[in-house]
Chains A and B, each alone.
Chain A
């Protein structure tokens, strides 16, 4: 066997209390494509940023060519032949593609006129990878996918021996992805080590030689191509270790339709929803499963009346909730727990008690004197001090604060996006109890999650979203399992081998 070009030995990285990468061991070989597969927040990007020098390991070490890595930062990494393409790019939009490439190229001559023959080489990789991109057009005129390709060319121009790609296909069209896959294979054949950070099984299937699966900061499995079936990989990605006591309320005896999604279409940069229809009855809990980035976030925003829909409607008890134009605003009657509470759900420079009363404050009622202290303790917000500013709370406590606001009062319907993200086990149980209590009181619940075990344990029906469409709505009759759901989520047959 070949010698590894880079080697992680028991590498751990902490950010405060959070262990982003936990005791990782991984070898990267020249001429191979290593896929790092995992859900959002599994630690994939952090692991590779350790190699790239953005972060340093808290413990453990990284060897490059058998010697301990001395890389201290991205500039240093590039000198050492390690290049990384990030999810958010570092291109200058006002300059042309060619100028951007010249800026990052170590061999750029002083005189950069087109006639200078020494500059022609800078476009060689671009011509191979993306012949359709005009090198003289401004980066601001390119699509996101095209920008990603230019960014990749920048790294390739460094003649890096290790190229790290962070979710490269998330913004590419299928045709562009295909071309990229071919290109990655070609690079590997030239002896370059390619590391592909992804949560798309299609990427893995198309070009990976070695597959490392990460979950909650740990590398749970490393296998070579063809060793494992798709469903095994999905199971590893999603994890099935924690068994939680989840007892959803019994299915309502009489079905009364409550929340009705009718042929919703909407578009946002890089994502569009197509004809999403779903009807949720009073007291019913519908889980929405899908691999991240398949339109869940946009769907939630449309239902909550934050993002305008291009057509279709959302009706709650006969009243339309949807926004038609960007100018319109309406207050959502849903109990809505968005993802990323710090950005989407709290006003950080206001107190906890005001954050709990945002609905009332926004509607002009400043005398709202709800019993906030009780709510804070009931939802385990720590510390339960009403006059504390929300900015001082940790992410998990903010999540609980938002849950307290949205679940603390009876609601007609609940829309919960990853409501247990970043919470500990007791808090997770508490959140589920509160959501189920709302359902028992007659609320229609739509619950978006990536945790298949919890969804199977806690919902009456499970809808699966892929590429902005609902591909299936399954009754949770005890026959559903991770494999069938995983196959629907990825669109691949469960028994198909990665070959």
Chain B
């Protein structure tokens, strides 16, 4: 169980360091630090509205984190969640545009499945390139992000533009049947439930069962895995496609439940945020859950903080950057401080 204890220690130390540096940041800004942190907490969790905002941000971050964690378990570094999110949005929207009159009972599953397939394909391509030709998956996923984002632009500025929108680049507003159900007067939608279910499901997939052992062997020593008949390439493709599908769901959920239509800016860097959340949590779905919530809260609260407390707009991004820099640095520092850490 030493793995588990280490993770808890690292996450704890990270949050503590972040807290201390945040105080320093507000002092530098000339704001009362504890009051500001108090406000951050209030805007993240203070009332129903804040919690709803936080959870709305948590959903895509959580899904994108899971999308990075799935290939991450095999030691792959996929930064493609952002692009996969856009790709899922495209294929999901295509269903809505093709058959806007479907009843919700058919529309929602079809929309989600198509989004997942779109993303799965978008993960499959870098997967097969890596598996068959040793082409670096980090670079291909990174570059494909731009392709997907620009495809969305091309579509909403072009063939999919709502003629009634008078030049505004967006599709038609989604019919009611295509909107993911949400809690009344809040932005907490079905996507969150799907995301949590996926996180728990992935936890079992990665810790119990036959596949978990195969993935662990291949991640630990590819040569040994192949000696016993495991095919690295097949698993690369499977896990990249799975990750892609998860990010695709994030895309369509965001379009359907939050925006109500496909438009150029679906994501405010959720893909990259999710990637960092996944690495911060060591690709462990049950750790990703609270970390994504924490980061979602930070995103939502710093948005509010900039509106109400007159801190510069950039401080939201600075705080996020701070969090991730610490998250990357702290584990290394803890390791090096141990007198006899295992290699």
Contact = CB atoms under 8 A, between A and B. Distances in A.
A263 interface: no
A343 B230 contact: no
A327 B229 CA distance: 11
Contact of B229 (A329, A347, A348): A329
A354 B214 CA distance: 11
Interface stretch (B48-56, B58-66, B152-160, B218-226): B218-226
Contact of B231 (A329, A349, A359, A365): A329
B145 to A, nearest CB: 27
A95 interface: no
Contacts of A79: none
B280 to A, nearest CB: 20
A366 B226 contact: no
Contacts of A359: 228
Contact of B216 (A304, A332, A347, A392): A347
A358 interface: yes
B228 A358 contact: yes
Contact of B230 (A329, A350, A366): A329
Interface string A319-339: 000000001011110001010
A362 interface: yes
A347 B224 contact: yes
Interface string B204-225: 0000011101101100110111
B75 to A, nearest CB: 11
B216 A306 contact: no
B228 A363 contact: yes
A176 B111 CA distance: 65
Contact of A330 (B217, B224, B229): B229
A362 B223 contact: no
A16 interface: no
Closest 4 pairs (CB-CB, A-B): A331-B229, A347-B220, A362-B228, A364-B210
A366 B224 contact: no
Contacts of B217: 347, 350, 358, 361-362
Given A327-B233, A364-B210, A343 B227 contact: no
A362 B213 contact: yes
13 contacts: A306-B227, A329-B230, A330-B229, A331-B227, A347-B221, A347-B225, A358-B217, A358-B228, A361-B210, A361-B217, A364-B210, A366-B210, A389-B342
B4 interface: no
B343 interface: yes
Interface residues of chain B: helix, strand, loop or mixed (majority): helix
Interface residues of chain A: helix, strand, loop or mixed (majority): loop
Nearest to B132: A327
A416 B231 CA distance: 24
Contact of A344 (B210, B223, B231, B342): B223
B70 to A, nearest CB: 19
Choose among B217, B220, B224, B226 the residue with the greatest number of A CB atoms under 10 Å from its CB. B224
Interface in B153-197: none
Interface string A350-388: 100010001101111110000000000000000000000
Contact of A364 (B214, B231, B232): B214
Contacts of B216: 347, 349-350
Contacts of A361: 210, 213-214, 217
A347 B226 CA distance: 12
A304 B232 CA distance: 17
B237 to A, nearest CB: 12
Nearest to A330: B229
B342 A343 contact: no
A392 B211 CA distance: 25
Contacts of A345: 224, 227
Contacts of A354: 213
B7 to A, nearest CB: 14
Contacts of B229: 329-332, 362-363
B210 A365 contact: yes
A361 to B, nearest CB: 4
Interface string B319-343: 0000000000000000000000011
A310 interface: no
Contact of B224 (A305, A358, A392): A358
A389 B2 CA distance: 11
A364 B210 CA distance: 5
B185 to A, nearest CB: 47
Contacts of A358: 217, 224, 228
A346 B225 CA distance: 9
Nearest to A392: B342
B36 to A, nearest CB: 42
Given A332-B228, A347-B216, A364-B210, A306 B223 contact: yes
B210 A391 contact: no
Given A327-B132, A350-B217, A364-B211, 5 more contacts: A330-B229, A332-B228, A332-B229, A343-B223, A391-B343
A362 B233 contact: no
A332 B210 CA distance: 19
Nearest to A359: B228
A345 B232 CA distance: 16
Contacts of B223: 306, 343-344
A118 to B, nearest CB: 41
B156 to A, nearest CB: 40
A358 B228 CA distance: 8
